[in-house]
Copies of this chain bind each other. A is one copy, B any other.
């Protein structure tokens, strides 16, 4: 078996980057020539986590072939969220915590998904199942992923299994999760110095829902108004993306990490239907989703149901 690349989704978040590093390390310990790589830019939050635990960002790739024939996906499975030439390589493993869609293989594979809040929680189990000790700095990365995906343990995606994993990892990493976590989230919510292009693409994901093509971008913020007051410029950008990708809906979600509400800008022919599904009206293309912080658990299922 030749080298295997391990990567998370495009527009990688902290879980995608750290899961690639953490799982590649585990596979190396088990004898595989595995290398963690990434499919996009590192966010401010992820850069903070990598820096705190002494890691460099993984190498950026645009294509997997012909460098390798085999890849491992972490933190995603949907083809449109993955490397562009996914069809040219063999997916031999997936470790993920999302719904399964637009994913198909010719051969049997190792697929491990669990309905938990973070890939790191599953990786924590896999280390145990294989009897491999988690190094201190990798535990720090895995803890960072759980903090990121759960908005410091407050998202409805956060399960009892995530809580136990976070406790174990914080102990190994020797970190106060609350203190460290708030600093990390603040680093990610610092939107100064971000261009609007970056804001709408940093954590954007595409979905197919029924016949509809949907893109949902999410940013965390401390001052939501600082983002929303640039609505006019943002709409120009979103409309150009809608046209270019022939989207039925672009949902731009700005999540207040302190009060846990999200302000959204919804554009595209499915925008009204989308907001109706959340029982809120769309005013001037915007709405507030009270208590909604999780794209995966609170937005994608509702939209999938509404648009199918």
Contacts and interface: CB of A to CB of B under 8 A. Distances in A.
Interface of A: 92, 97-116, 129, 296-297, 300-301, 304-305
- 3 tightest CB-CB pairs across the interface, nearest first? A111-B113, A108-B115, A101-B104
A98 B108 contact: yes
A110 B115 contact: yes
Contact of A109 (B92, B113, B129, B300): B113
Nearest to A108: B115
A116 B108 CA distance: 8
A66 to B, nearest CB: 18
B129 A305 contact: no
A101 B105 contact: yes
Given A99-B105, A102-B104, 10 more contacts: A97-B108, A98-B108, A99-B108, A100-B103, A101-B104, A106-B300, A106-B301, A108-B113, A111-B111, A111-B113
Contacts of A109: 99-100, 113, 115
Q: Which of A104, A108, A112, A115 has the most CB of B within 10 A?
A: A108
Nearest to A98: B108
A246 to B, nearest CB: 21
Nearest to A157: B108
A200 B90 CA distance: 32
A99 B113 CA distance: 15
A106 B296 contact: no
A123 to B, nearest CB: 15
B99 A107 contact: yes
Given A101-B105, A129-B129, A113 B115 contact: no
